[in-house]
């Protein structure tokens, strides 16, 4: 299995790079096009824009599609949030013929993406046949929106593992669940009931407004204060590297004989960190808990989280 290195970087460095492939999305959120406004299309050889089939005309979708057509000369590719096959096809098509010795560089704006889509890029890098180092720069536009915390999130379908993050296929001595906390505390408790975990850890994102952080604590206080919960981590939203490291350290004592499940229900940078931890440790699973929320516009705050993931080539 190829090794993975996770490093915090900055958006200015990203804007100075040249990439072999880039992936963006067009959905109903205003922030879908915030980052592409600052990226020079000439620095990307093979861009791809994914357009959600589920919300073809909701919110800002038509405006976002128009932006990509006019500024990037690209028509978004209609794709279900549950389908990642075209992503693999695009990556194989535009990287398999490389003759250069340098690493392959991929840019991915996952601000408004399905987690299956950005997990697919990581799986392609880890499990594909490319012999070179692969550098993936993940960029995320922080959003400003108001959620109705009193409206519970209804879980959509089952809670499958994210591909590449299936964990152990059998139950060992103890079951450990690690929850990334979001606004819907009752939903997290429902998931805990299904998992029947013996030991629980929680983590939440800090770095936004103190009011919002306090709301997350209050909405999840029953889980945080549960007798099963052994610790609550408060990790910076702007540092995927930091979150990745602390999650790895938290689960380390349980890895030899524990069934470990990550349940990230918070912001996408912490979901990315959870996926990376599960991909690093084959005995760790990462679940995909999805709801069916009504389309709600999310405006960019102007802050951008940039993370470099280096997947080392085979020796």
Q: Could you give the CA distance from residue 136 to residue 191 in angstroms, rounded to a whole number?
A: 31
Q: Is residue 68 part of a domain?
A: yes
Assigned token pair, 35: 């980052």
**Are 173 and 279 members of one domain?**
yes
For residue 190, tell me if it sits in a domain.
yes
237 phi, psi to nearest 5 deg: -65, -35
User: Is residue 221 located within the same domain as residue 307?
Assistant: no
| In-domain check, residue 303 | yes
The secondary structure element, H or E, covering residue 250 is helix 240-251
* Closest of 263, 265, 272 to residue 306, by C-alpha: 272
Q: Is residue 151 part of a domain?
A: no
Residues 138 and 169 in one domain: no
Distances (CA, A) of 151 to 24, 29, 147, 294, 295: 30, 20, 9, 11, 14
How high is the pLDDT of residue 149? 47
**178 and 269: one domain?**
yes
pLDDT reported for residue 152: 59
User: Which tokens in the block code for residue 83?
Assistant: 């389908």
Segment 103-131, tens digit of pLDDT: 999 999 999 999 999 999 999 999 887 77
With tokens 């819907």, the residue in question is: 184
Residue 153 lies in a domain: no
Is 156 within the bounds of a domain? no
Name the pairing type of β-strands 284-287 and 299-311: unpaired
Does residue 141 sit in the same domain as residue 8?
yes
Residue 114 and residue 171 in one domain = no
Distances (CA, A) of 279 to 173, 251, 286: 22, 14, 9
Q: Give the model's pLDDT for residue 69.
A: 96
Q: How high is the pLDDT of residue 144? A: 84
Which of 33, 282, 291 lies closest to 141, judged by CA? 33
pLDDT at position 306, please?
98
Closest of 139, 141, 108 to residue 123, by C-alpha: 108
Work out the number of other CB atoms within 10 angstroms of the CB of residue 21: 22
Number of domains in the chain: 2
Spans in the chain with pLDDT lower than 70: 1, 96-100, 145-157, 169-172, 291-294, 315
| pTM reported for the whole predicted model | 0.94
Asked whether residue 45 is assigned to any structural domain, the reply reads yes
Give the CATH number of the domain where residue 275 resides.
Answer: 3.40.50.10770
What are 8-31's pLDDT values in tens digits? 999 999 999 999 999 999 999 999
Whole domain around residue 232: which residue ranges? 161-287
Q: Is residue 31 part of a domain?
A: yes
| Count of positions (residues) in the chain | 315
CB 72, CB 35: distance < 8 Å: no
CB 200 within 8 A of CB 314: no
């Amino acid at each position: 299995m190829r090794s993975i290195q996770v490093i915090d970087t900055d958006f200015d460095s990203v804007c100075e790079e040249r990439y072999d492939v880039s992936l963006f999305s067009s959905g109903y959120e205003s922030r879908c096009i915030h980052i592409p406004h600052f990226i020079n299309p000439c620095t990307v050889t093979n861009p791809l824009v994914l357009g959600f089939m589920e919300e073809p005309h909701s919110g800002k979708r038509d405006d976002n599609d128009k932006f990509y057509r006019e500024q990037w000369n690209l028509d978004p590719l209609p794709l279900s949030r549950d389908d990642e096959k075209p992503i693999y096809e695009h990556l194989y098509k535009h990287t398999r013929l490389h003759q250069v010795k340098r690493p392959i560089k991929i840019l991915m704006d996952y601000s408004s993406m399905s987690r299956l889509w950005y997990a697919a890029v990581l799986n392609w890098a880890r499990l594909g046949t490319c012999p070179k180092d692969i550098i993936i720069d993940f960029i995320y536009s922080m959003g400003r929106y108001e959620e109705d915390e009193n409206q519970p999130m209804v879980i959509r379908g089952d809670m499958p593992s994210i591909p590449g993050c299936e964990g152990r296929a059998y139950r060992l001595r103890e079951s450990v669940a690690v929850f990334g906390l979001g606004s819907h505390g009752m939903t997290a408790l429902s998931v805990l009931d299904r998992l029947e975990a013996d030991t629980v850890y929680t983590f939440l994102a800090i770095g936004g407004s103190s009011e919002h952080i306090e709301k997350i604590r209050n909405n999840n206080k029953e889980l945080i204060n549960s007798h099963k919960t052994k610790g609550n981590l408060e990790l910076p939203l702007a540092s995927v590297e930091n979150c990745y490291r602390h999650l790895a350290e938290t689960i380390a004592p349980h890895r030899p004989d524990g069934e470990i499940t990550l349940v990230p229900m918070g912001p996408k940078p912490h979901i990315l960190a959870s996926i990376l931890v599960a991909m690093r440790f084959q005995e760790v699973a990462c679940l995909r808990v999805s709801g069916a929320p009504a389309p709600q516009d999310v405006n960019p705050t102007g802050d951008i989280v940039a993370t470099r993931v280096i997947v080392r080539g085979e020796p």
